[in-house]
Amino acid sequence: MAEGSHEVTEELTVSNRLGIHARPAAAIVQRVLAFDSEVYFNLNGNRVNAKSIMGLLTLAATRGSRLIVQCKGQDAEEAMHAVKELFTSGFGEE
Amino acid sequence: MDTQDLPVNRKTYIEVSRLMEFMSRDLELEAMAGFQGIDRPVYSSDINRPGLAIGGYLEYFANDRIQILGNTEIHYMEKLNTATLSQRLDSMFSFEIPAFLLSRHLTPQNIFLDMCNQRGVPVLQSSRSTDEVISRIILFLTEEFSPETVIHATAVDCYGVGCLIVGSPGVGKSETALELIERGHRLVADDVVALKRHREDHLFAETNEMIEHHMEIRGVGIIDVKAVFGAGRVRNRKTIGLIVELEEWNEGANYDRTGLIEEYIEILGVRIPYLRIPVRPGRNMAIIIEVASLNHRLKEMGMNPAEQFNERLLHIMHGNNRPT
């Protein structure tokens, strides 16, 4: 791995009622695109790139799903922080 | 492009019910007995003809495979007297057997069916000939057990060449695919491409069942390619012949200028020709991919334009006295 590059991994729980459908997926993509880091979501052995709406949708993550979130890159910590914020806020949904 | 850390999934077993579900139509299968064992696991993509086991020789009995019963086995069982048959079957059934499959509408004796019912070993009957059953079952199982992965990419059938377009998010994979579709080529999958190895040396791209042929185009949103462009512009699977990586134009980078150097990338153990193409406003990526595909086809047909051109050049320069 390149110098100054980090990798952080955390487990986050989907908290909004409808789970990760198109709108939350779009919100996630928009947020993580701001970072250079690669961001991956893992669920049930599937790993998708969090910078892809379609990828996120294939996870079919419902409320209560626990995702393993990996951020890799120089701004991995910041990216993870932003992703966490989204999860806690229920992606801006109820 | 880094393909080393792609998560690889590989089934260790499949259930007999899955085989029923997917092969029923193909093999015209009907379940005759042992229904309660329909979820028994199959661990091997190979099959076994249990002739020797029925004959009483149980060493090396490949019991963990699907057991195919054809004319030979069925008629042999009919020749045995009931006591011997029952004893032979008893010994055979002391092994775990996933299922029996009969060809040509063959029906075994009741004693056999009763034992399968008691032990919950499914008995399936096919209308097809034995060799047909065997080749189709092996093909199906091999595919089921082949390794697979999912990659963030776009797969398009361009002039019959399966192109896997890779590159960082936002580099324009989807837009390039859209233009290729517009120009008459076919979309296999956008954004989420399932890759499956077939046999030892083929790599398939498959459409994701959930997102099908939907695409996300920045600024427009989610579109359904099948609805917008028609059924003729999509397909569900295609062998990959070429990997094209789109990357931001990088002044310092060295791009292949001659086509004399061939690069490959290995995915799931399959080596695929690989091209890196720099993206810049005004460069029409779709046309470049079309040309790359056609060039790939030429090479597959045994023509290598770059090599041949260079050969001709060397001939003009040196005639027949080329220095070695």
Candidates A18, A19, A21, A65; catalytic one: A21
Q: From residue A50, how far is each of A27, B215, B221 by CA, in Å?
A: 10, 16, 17
Task: Say if residues B53 and B92 touch (Cβ distance below 8 Å).
Answer: yes
Record: contact A49-B169, CB cut-off 8 A:
yes
Please write the tens of the pLDDT for every residue from A46-74: 888 899 888 899 998 999 999 999 999 99
Record: contact B211-A58, CB cut-off 8 A:
yes
Q: Tell me how far apart the alpha carbons of residues B92 and B61 are, in angstroms, rounded to a whole number.
A: 9
DSSP letter for each residue of chain A: --TT-EEEEEEEE--SSS-S-HHHHHHHHHHHTTSSSEEEEEETTEEEETT-HHHHHHT---TT-EEEEEEEETTHHHHHHHHHHHHHTGGG--
Reported confidence tier of residue B280, pLDDT bands at 50, 70, 90: confident
* Closest-CA distance of chain B to residue A51, Å: 7
Q: Residue B231 gets which letter from DSSP?
A: G
pLDDT at B290 over 80: yes
Q: Which residues from A are below 8 Å from B when comparing CB atoms? A: 22, 33, 45-49, 51-55, 57-58, 60
Task: Say if residues B300 and B269 touch (Cβ distance below 8 Å).
Answer: no
Burial of A70 (0-12, 13-18, 19+ CB in 10 A): buried
Q: Hey, what domains does chain A have and what are their CATH numbers?
A: 6-92 (3.30.1340.10)
Q: Tell me how far apart the alpha carbons of residues B145 and B143 are, in angstroms, rounded to a whole number.
A: 5
Mean pLDDT of A23-29: 91
* Chain B residues close to A22, C-beta within 8 Å: 222
pLDDT at B223 over 80: yes
Query: Residue B255's pLDDT is what?
Result: 75
Nearest to A53 by CA among B165, B171, B221, B247: B221
Extract the tokens encoding B133: 């059953």
Beta bridge partner(s), residue A72: A7, A38
E-assigned strands of chain B? 14-15, 30-33, 41-42, 47-48, 66-69, 100-102, 123-125, 148-158, 161-166, 186-198, 202-206, 214-217, 221-224, 237-248, 263-267, 270-279
User: Which sequence spans correspond to the domains of chain B?
Assistant: 14-144, 148-310
Asked about A21 being catalytic, the answer comes back as: yes
Amino acid (1-letter code) at residue B60: Y
Asked about B191 being catalytic, the answer comes back as: yes
Residues 6+ apart with CB under 8 A from A87: A12, A13, A14, A15
Please write the tens of the pLDDT for every residue from B132-146: 999 999 999 998 899
* Closest-CA distance of chain A to residue B209, Å: 9
Average pLDDT, chain A: 89
Helix (H, G, I), strand (E, B) or coil at B108: coil
Reported confidence tier of residue B9, pLDDT bands at 50, 70, 90: confident
Query: Residue B253's pLDDT is what?
Result: 75
Mean pLDDT of B194-204: 90
Record: contact A46-B152, CB cut-off 8 A:
no
Q: Tell me how far apart the alpha carbons of residues B105 and B126 are, in angstroms, rounded to a whole number.
A: 6
* Chain B residues close to A60, C-beta within 8 Å: 210
* Chain A residues close to B190, C-beta within 8 Å: 54
pLDDT at B39 over 80: yes
Record: contact B210-A57, CB cut-off 8 A:
yes
Reported confidence tier of residue B252, pLDDT bands at 50, 70, 90: confident
* Chain B residues close to A45, C-beta within 8 Å: 7, 9
Record: contact B152-A48, CB cut-off 8 A:
yes
Nearest to B244 by CA among B280, B204, B277: B277
Reported confidence tier of residue A4, pLDDT bands at 50, 70, 90: low
* Closest-CA distance of chain B to residue A70, Å: 13
Record: contact B192-A58, CB cut-off 8 A:
yes
Record: contact A52-B214, CB cut-off 8 A:
no
Please write the tens of the pLDDT for every residue from B178-191: 999 999 999 999 99
Between strands B202-206 and A38-43, the pairing is unpaired
Candidates B25, B79, B218, B257; catalytic one: B257
Q: Which fold has domain B148-310?
A: Rossmann fold (3.40.50)
DSSP letter for each residue of B244-296: EEEEE--TT----SSS-S-EEEEETTEEEEEEEEEE-TT--HHHHHHHHHHHH
DSSP letter for each residue of B199-216: TTTEEEEE--TTTTTEEE
Q: Tell me how far apart the alpha carbons of residues B172 and B23 are, in angstroms, rounded to a whole number.
A: 40
Candidates B152, B183, B199, B322; catalytic one: B152
Reported confidence tier of residue B68, pLDDT bands at 50, 70, 90: very high
* Chain A residues close to B152, C-beta within 8 Å: 48-49, 52, 55
Reported confidence tier of residue A3, pLDDT bands at 50, 70, 90: low
Reported confidence tier of residue A1, pLDDT bands at 50, 70, 90: very low
- Closest partner residue to A45 among B9, B216, B222, by Cβ? B9
Query: Residue B215's pLDDT is what?
Result: 93
Q: Tell me how far apart the alpha carbons of residues A30 and A25 are, in angstroms, rounded to a whole number.
A: 9
Architecture in CATH for domain B14-144: 3-Layer(aba) Sandwich (3.40)
ipTM of the complex: 0.79
Laid out side by side, the sheet with A6-13 consists of: A6-13, A66-73, A38-43, A46-49
* Closest-CA distance of chain B to residue A36, Å: 10
* Closest-CA distance of chain A to residue B190, Å: 8
